Structure 1
Amino acid sequence: MVSELGLVCITVSKDIRYRTVTRKRLLEQSDAGQRKLLDGIYRDNIRTLDGALQYCKREGIRLYRLPSSIFPFFDEDVGREVMRELAPSLSRTGRRATEMGLRLVMHPDQFVVLSSDSPEVVANSVKILQMHADIMDLLEQPRSPWAVLEIHGGKGNRSDALVERIAGLPDAIRSRLCLENDEYAYSAEQIHEVCVRSGVPMVFDAHHHIVSEKLSSYDDPSVAAMLEKARATWPDPEHQMVHISNGRESFNDRQHADLISTMPAAYARAPWIEIEAKSKEEAISGLRRWQASQSARIG
């Protein structure tokens, strides 16, 4: 197996760059000015996304993570009004991705905390997730874990609440939802339990795992074991997605390094790997050399 390596949002070069706007600047505009500003940003970002698809095609990349903020304020009335006119264009972009065999995924931001004990935070979390699901629907992406909407567990020691909230999510969200382990609140074992109970796939992150468990190697037996346990949560095991990053200052540093210099040997069996390194496309190039060495060793 040769794992598909995923590009996260932008490139180190200026090949892929998206526009955004702050709330302060948006609110300085009149209603018409807000619509005009967002219209320009949305159009530019659709063109940038089209360029990202072409970049991935040229580079042989088949997994692409869209930025969470690709359409700023789309979760508000003004954003939805602007998007109505642009929806056909976004749908064409999504169809191009499908024709290319390019997998599109999203990772909503840290404000999504379904396990919060605050009803307001939970409601806002669902609102943010719905925005991402709507983008995936506009891109004509399937309502399945192929088009991943990935989040962390959120507030610790709230597994029951998390399972309950997931069960109540609209289909457009729940059918795409995946949960990832983290360093502090939900270990790989804990998030795996939630995934089994809630019936959603698990995105295993080996670096979060070694930080959480204070391990000294990616080849600790628990890494391979968790990879296999996570795979069993996917309806189609060939769609399993995992993450990799390396520590910046030390092996157990939670901050991401520029490149990937160390990989779990078990990841040679991972079908889809998102590369969470600062140097993006440069890290992917380096990992292709790792793949070649693994293939040569196995051969």
Structure 2
Amino acid sequence: MSIGYPCITVGVEGTKQKTCRKSNATGDHLAALIKYNLDALKNIIEFNGKHNIHLFRISSDIIPFASDKEVNTLDWSNQFAEQFKEIGKLIKKYEIRVSMHPGQYTVLNSPDEGVVKRAIADLEYHALFLDSLGVDASSKLILHVGGVYGEKERAMDRFVEVYKTLNDRIKDRLVVENDDRSYTIEEVLSISERTGAPAVYDNLHNAINTSDPDKSDTY
């Protein structure tokens, strides 16, 4: 069994990451932050590898405003290619499976086209980040279905419709997870069957938002 944790390495020097406000997001400042954050990620991977931690969820905030092309105009994937390459080599050396989990505002099934457009841009950023590390498709992007909007069946249909428009770089990595409020594992499996996207099961979310209380994780 592999163990791991998400995003923040507490008590280890050189692993804290930084961000900034949009008003301070100049090109030079963003470049400095990205270099700093990639250095921090390298230190995290080194620490995890030396302590036999083989699963790690990378923070979405390493590249500030990465999905907002009006704010972050840097070609960061190429500009920091050597750092990405070094980190990717460490990930492979220590046999760590990394993942990323776009946040609560990355909603593919929103009825608002602007929200959906921004969600797709965010997924494109995450996929490019993992691609830049040189990790294979076993490194996943974990996403919840989204909102219900008073019409769950229609909301599920919208997720399926938008999923079909995603590029293959995203589809190769995207997995759909049950959540603790809106979508049970049964509903996620239904979406998985319709899209071909793998489903990932969160037992703690299921304990709160279960589709079948008669079933147990223990047998």
Other structure's SS at 1:213 match: coil
Q: Distance in 1 between matches of 2:204 and 2:67?
A: 32
Matching residue within 124, 133, 136 for 1:130 = 124
Pair 1:210–1:83, CA change in 2 (3 A): same
* Residue 119 (structure 1) shift: 0.9
Structure 1, residues 232-284: CA drift from partner, whole Å, max 9, x if none?
xxxxxxxxxxxxxxxxxxxxxxxxxxxxxxxxx46xxxxxxxxxxxxxxxxxx
Pairing of 1:57-206 with structure 2 (within 5 A): 57-77=49-69, 78-142=72-136, 144=137, 146-156=138-148, 157=152, 158-206=155-203
Q: Give the count of matched residue pairs.
A: 211
Pair 1:223–1:53, CA change in 2 (3 A): same
Matching residue within 201, 210, 217 for 1:213 = 210
Q: Distance in 1 between matches of 2:77 and 2:21?
A: 18
* Residue 98 (structure 1) shift: 1.6
Residue number in structure 2 paired with 1:272? none
Structure 1, residues 201-250: CA drift from partner, whole Å, max 9, x if none?
111111111111399xxxx65243xxxxxxxxxxxxxxxxxxxxxxxxxx
Residue number in structure 1 paired with 2:20? 21
Other structure's SS at 2:209 match: helix
**8 A contact 2:5–2:57 mirrored in 1:** yes
Other structure's SS at 1:151 match: strand
Residue number in structure 2 paired with 1:53? 45
More helix by share: 1
Pair 1:83–1:76, CA change in 2 (3 A): farther
Q: Distance in 2 between matches of 1:104 and 1:64?
A: 5
Query: Percent of pairs identical after alignment?
Result: 26
* Residue 151 (structure 1) shift: 0.7
TM-align CA RMSD: 1.9
Q: Distance in 2 between matches of 1:37 and 1:223?
A: 50
The amino acid of 2:40's aligned partner reads: T
The amino acid of 1:222's aligned partner reads: K
Pair 1:205–1:20, CA change in 2 (3 A): same
TM-score (norm 1): 0.66
**8 A contact 1:91–1:140 mirrored in 2:** yes
Residue number in structure 1 paired with 2:2? 4
* Residue 6 (structure 1) shift: 1.4
Other structure's SS at 1:165 match: helix
